[in-house]
């Protein structure tokens, strides 16, 4: 695995997007891993990535989840599955 993954928060920057980013940062801290964060706010790009309902969560450009604010626990499990 690479030293660092890029976690993308897909959405307009609304409170749900901000909460998703906060939860993702907490999940990364719990796992003790390195991650870069990127906010993707361009709706055309978000739709191109296949997300119809924001907020969305992507790792290294690959959409993992979308449509709600996921908890830190859910994100930890998603990261573990992605990096396995």
- Secondary structure E strands in the chain: 4-10, 34-40, 56-59, 62-66
Is 70 among the catalytic positions?
no
Count CB atoms within 10 A of the CB of residue 27.
24
Radius of gyration of the chain (CA): 12
Is 28 among the catalytic positions?
no
Question: Are 81 and 48 within 8 A, CB to CB?
Answer: no
From 6, 14, 47, 80, active-site residue: 14
From 9, 10, 17, 57, active-site residue: 17
The catalytic residues are 14, 17
């Amino acid at each position: 695995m690479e030293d660092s993954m890029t976690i993308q928060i897909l959405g307009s920057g609304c409170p749900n997007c901000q909460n998703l980013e906060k939860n993702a940062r907490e999940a990364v801290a719990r796992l003790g891993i390195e991650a870069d964060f990127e906010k993707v706010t361009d709706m055309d790009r978000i739709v191109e990535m296949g997300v119809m309902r924001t907020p969305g969560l992507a790792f290294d450009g690959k959409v993992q989840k979308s449509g709600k604010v996921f908890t830190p626990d859910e994100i930890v499990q998603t990261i573990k599955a992605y990096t396995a």
